[in-house]
Structure 1
Amino acid sequence: MIADIHLQPDDAHPINQAFHQFLTTHAQQAAALYILGDCFEMWVGDDVGCKVYGKTLSLFKELTAKGLPIYMMFGNRDFLMRQRFWQITGISHIKEPGLVKIGDFSALICHGDGLCTDDIEFQKMRKILRHPIITWLFLRLPQKKRISIGEGMRAKSQKYNLNKAENIMDVNQQAVEALFDAHPGVTHLIHGHTHRAAHHTYELNSQTFHRWVLGDWRPEMQYLKIQNGEASLHSWSPFG
């Protein structure tokens, strides 16, 4: 499982190059690949994204055509993929929170931004941007206008995060517990968004709960491997 690649609109970018190498080497050893949001730095519609990220989409298609299942959920930067994207790549869309069962291992999966409830302004904007009417209207704007808006929002977000306290950009423990409460019997949660790869545990009612956080791709990729009923975090670099 991976998240937060933040592919740039330039195939020559080091992150894109590393991800393409990952798809043509390491990913092919997996039984399935899960991407938990923010695969792309920005997605302003299939008519734009499918051209800008054409090479990546072709590599996705090569993998799914060979029989490798790939599952993807929306992130806070790329939640506007529609039918054309799924058809071109052969990727299956997962809504969040999702519940996955891999052998004897079961876990809840989500991007993670919805758990950062201490960041009130972010949650307000998230609710507005994901409203069906807003997305419907946005996707009907001219391409240049959508690209301009997307780049402007990305710049504003980066500036906003520089002046934001670190703690409010992390997940809220009560939000995590509420998610587990809504899915009794599940004791593992996997998410991205915060870019803070780690394995957290806490005890409640004599039961241990696990929260696995996926890292980003700067400077090396962090991924979660599930094998023989157990999860473990690993690093991967195209430089070995």
Structure 2
Amino acid sequence: MTTTLMISDLHLHPGAPDVAEGFVGWLETRARGADAVYILGDLFEAWIGDDLLDHADQDPSGNAQLAIRVAGALRQLTDDGTALYLMHGNRDFLLGHRFADAIGAKLLSDPAVLRLGDEQVLLMHGDTLCTRDEAYQAFRTQARNPAWQEQILAMPLADRLQLAAALRQQSGEATSNKAEDIMDVTPEEVVRVMRDHGVTTLIHGHTHRPAVHELEVDDQPARRIVLGDWQPGHGWEVEIDASGEPKLRDITY
């Protein structure tokens, strides 16, 4: 049976070992035998460069050890024949081709269009849909600048680890002071993006608000499927079987 699975927002980090082990278990059981797995951003809570895979002995934070553990489980999945696709999130935007090659994955652009049967489906991380969060959008523009990324990746590993910790703290403080609607998608932007890509189905993560939203795009019925984030004991996936119909599922592990 043809099966495609989509997940996002695992935010893996050493402080949440239950989520990491739950994800590895999901790869070894639920994802085993799937035709394709799509990770739509924020696999890691932070990513400071693909060379992290080389420095398990220089990283007291445990990020390198976690990266190696997860990379090994993902590589096993692709070695067993499952196609793996990886999209950048707002937390792990420095994931590069070296990491993708190491796990046998293909890096996806954001947005990306996927054909499911007779339908074109739009895949996004979802952060660009939150246009009312102007401060974040300004940071995103800076963080996706190749020159800025090159400058960051040239820093010593210890300095990058400190920077990642500082950015996480700043992000948490900023989020606590923002109104709920600012951190959610802008409905007009959703319609515009779907119209521009000629789709009636959009699947994304980022907002941590799992749901299926019915809407209209140019008087045509449409839907927006939002993946949730992973927490200890449970996560979220979209399953697409041979029928081509996406199903949002709350999963336990």
Instruction: Give the TM-score normalised by the residue count of structure 2.
Output: 0.90
Q: Is the 8 A contact 2:195 2:218 kept in 1?
A: no
Which residue of 1 is the match for residue 41 of structure 2? 37
Which residue of 2 is the match for residue 3 of structure 1? 8
Quote the Cα distance in structure 2 between the aligned partners of 1:111 and 1:25.
25
Pairing 1:30-179 to 2, within 5 Å after superposition: 30-48=34-52, 51=56, 52=64, 53-179=67-193
1:67-120: CA deviations, max 9, x gaps? 100101000000111222012100111001100012234210010001100001
Counterpart of 2:70, as a letter, is T
Unaligned runs of 5+ in 1: none
Which residue of 2 is the match for residue 13 of structure 1? 17
Quote the Cα distance in structure 1 between the aligned partners of 2:218 and 2:96.
42
Unaligned runs of 5+ in 2: 1-5, 57-63
SS at 2:171's partner residue? helix
2:215 paired with 1:215: no
Q: Is the 8 A contact 1:43 1:49 kept in 2?
A: no
Which residue of 2 is the match for residue 182 of structure 1? 196
Quote the Cα distance in structure 1 between the aligned partners of 2:201 and 2:29.
28
Which residue of 2 is the match for residue 236 of structure 1? 251
2:34 paired with 1:27: no
Structure 1's consecutive aligned runs of 4 or more residues displaced over 4 angstroms after TM superposition are: none
Counterpart of 1:7, as a letter, is L
Cα distance change of structure 1 residues 43 and 49 upon mapping to structure 2, 3 Å threshold: farther
Q: Is the 8 A contact 2:191 2:217 kept in 1?
A: no
How far apart are 1:212 and its partner, in Å?
0.5
Quote the Cα distance in structure 1 between the aligned partners of 2:49 and 2:217.
43
Q: 1:198 aligns with which of 211, 214, 227?
A: 211
SS at 1:33's partner residue? strand
How far apart are 1:203 and its partner, in Å?
2.2
How far apart are 1:49 and its partner, in Å?
5.0
Quote the Cα distance in structure 2 between the aligned partners of 1:175 and 1:160.
23
Q: Identity over aligned residues, as a percent?
A: 39
Counterpart of 2:44, as a letter, is F
Instruction: Give the TM-score normalised by the residue count of structure 1.
Output: 0.94
Which residue of 1 is the match for residue 60 of structure 2? none
SS at 2:197's partner residue? coil
Counterpart of 1:26, as a letter, is R
Quote the Cα distance in structure 1 between the aligned partners of 2:142 and 2:107.
22
How far apart are 1:183 and its partner, in Å?
1.3
Counterpart of 1:57, as a letter, is A
1:17-46: CA deviations, max 9, x gaps? 111111111111422100000000110001
Q: Is the 8 A contact 1:3 1:193 kept in 2?
A: yes
Paired residues in the alignment total 236
